[in-house]
Amino acid sequence: MSDLSDLYQEVILDHSKNPRNKRAMENATRKAEGYNPLCGDRFTVYLRVEDGIVRDISFEGSGCAISTASASLMTEDLKGKPVEMAHDVFDRFHKLLTGDNSVNETAPEVGMGKLAVFGGVRRFPVRVKCATLPWHTMETAMQGEEERVSTE
Ligand code: ZN
């Protein structure tokens, strides 16, 4: 199992040092800011959603290795996915980190791809907020457009 932990650590280190999709997005349809005062992580998440699909997702800001890697891996995972599926991934990611797998008989990390690396964060409650911050911010951004759309 220690080899597996090393691999997990490697993925987190890689994404924190070379974050993917870390840029502002000029043609974003939705955007939200998130802040974790416990650690000082602060991110803006940009989304371009068209026809219910996440066409593009990016982020800006700064935070610790865990939050930066989480934001980076989130953008990689959600790009091209339908909005509904993005909510679903968020749900599963949250369960993976909080250790609540009561609704799922299989281990929560199954089918999570690279996001499974955050399963180890569960053991460090203080870090859970770091890992989930980009996701909560993404959810807030998603909700923003739903409101806008309903007025059209
Ligand atoms: Zn943090």
pLDDT above 70: percentage of residues in the chain: 85
Average pLDDT over residues 63-79: 96
Average pLDDT over residues 56-81: 97
pLDDT at 147: 45
What CATH number should be reported for the domain holding residue 74?
A: 3.90.1010.10
Dist. CA 88 → ligand 1 center (Å): 23
pLDDT at 104: 52
Dist. CA 126 → ligand 1 center (Å): 8
The tally of domains found in the chain comes to 1
Segments forming the whole domain that contains residue 85: 2-150
pLDDT in tens, 102-118: 555 556 666 788 898 89
Dist. CA 68 → ligand 1 center (Å): 8
Q: Global pTM?
A: 0.87
Cβ contacts of 123-131, under 8 Å, gap ≥ 24: 126/38, 126/39, 127/66, 128/97, 128/98, 129/36, 129/38, 129/39, 130/36, 130/38, 130/39, 130/41, 130/63, 130/64, 130/66, 130/67, 130/70, 131/66, 131/67, 131/70, 131/97
Dist. CA 46 → ligand 1 center (Å): 20
